[in-house]
Amino acid sequence: MTVNEIFYSLQGEGRFAGTPATFVRFSGCNLRCDFCDTDHQSGREMTEDEIVGCVGEFPSEHVILTGGEPTLQLTAPLLGQLKRAGKIVHIETNGTVRLADDVAAHIDWITVSPKFGMIPEIQRIDELKVVFDMNHTEHIDRLAGVRATDDQCYSLQPCDRNDALYNARNLYRLYQAQPALEAVAPAPQTARHPLTARRLVDARNKTIGRDDMLVV
Ligand code: SF4
């Protein structure tokens, strides 16, 4: 398996935001999103035992397998070892790959972030994160029939193009589009935290950086 990095941090997004976790970032992805900000191309070869050993050096109960695209490399032995070590196993995926049943059975939480309106192939979605790009709202419409197991775990995530002006306009369009989006996106987190978008848009004199974009 090719692993880009293993590190200990807080989950910054979604249902488990604020939860201490060990992140295993796998190298490689089957998509080439033009807004991808993740360095996942480099990495080193590690066995399942080495990954589990490294994860065991950190104190967190939660382990988040991310990427890149983790589903391209996950194996039942790796997942089984993590579960036997008492870990709560999450994955973060673009949803394009259907998991083997013996892999899926060991995963406690699946966060899916579909790209370009692609309907997920993965067999289970516990949490759905849909990227909002003001120039491609058709992607959200296309995903209207896709549901997470819990409607409360649906979030619209503003696309970060590493361009402060574009990001500010995008946030404002997301705020404006909110009522219409509620028709296709049940209980979006943006609806429950409307001030988040307004606060950022109102801060005209402030540089809107990547950290701010991850707040929603
Ligand atoms: S799916 Fe995620 S990791 Fe893969 S290219 Fe797109 S943004 Fe990057």
Would you say the C-alpha torsion 2, 5, 9, 15 has a positive or negative sign? negative
Query: CA–CA distance from 147 to each of 118, 155, 158 (Å)?
Result: 13, 11, 19
pLDDT one-digit tens code per residue, 159-175: 999 899 999 999 999 88
DSSP code of residue 116? T
Q: What percent of the chain has pLDDT over 70?
A: 83
**pLDDT at residue number 203:** 32
What was the pLDDT predicted at 37? 80
pTM for the structure as a whole: 0.83
Q: Which atom of ligand 1 is nearest to the CA of 68?
A: 3
Q: Give the pLDDT of residue 40.
A: 77
pLDDT tens column, 31-65: 999 888 888 788 999 999 999 999 999 999 999 99
Helix, strand, coil shares, percent, the chain, to 5: 35, 20, 45
Task: Output the CA 23–ligand 1 centroid distance in Å.
Answer: 16
3 CA from centroid of ligand 1 (Å): 15
Token readout for 119 is: 């309907």
Please give the mean pLDDT across all residues of the chain: 84
At 153, is the pLDDT very low, low, confident or very high (cuts 50, 70, 90)? confident
> Please, how many CA atoms are within 13 Å of residue 43, restricted to the half-sphere of its CB?
22
Counting from 1 in the atom list of ligand 1, the atom nearest the Cα of 40 is 3
Q: Which tens digits make up the pLDDT trace of 93-121?
A: 999 999 999 999 999 999 999 999 999 99
Tell me the CA end-to-end span of the chain in Å, nearest whole number: 32
Q: Which of 26, 111, 115 to mutate to test the pocket of ligand 1 (most atoms within 8 A of CB)?
A: 115
Nearest CA to ligand 1 atom 6: 33
pLDDT for 5 beyond 60: yes
Tell how far the Cα of 99 is from the centroid of ligand 1, in angstroms: 18
Provide Rg for the chain, Cα atoms: 17
What is the residue with the minimal CA distance to atom 3 of ligand 1?
A: 68
Q: How far is the CA of 93 from the centre of ligand 1 (A)?
A: 9
Asked whether the predicted pLDDT for residue 198 surpasses 50, the reply is: no
In this prediction, residue 202 has a pLDDT band, given cuts at 50, 70 and 90, of very low
Q: Which residue has the tokens 């035992």?
A: 49
DSSP codes joined into one string, 29-63: -S---TT-----S--EE--HHHHHHHHTTS--SEE
Q: Which pLDDT value is given to residue 156?
A: 85
Most confidently predicted of 14-18, 109-113, 193-197, 207-211: 109-113
H helices of 72-163, where?
76-84, 101-104, 138-142
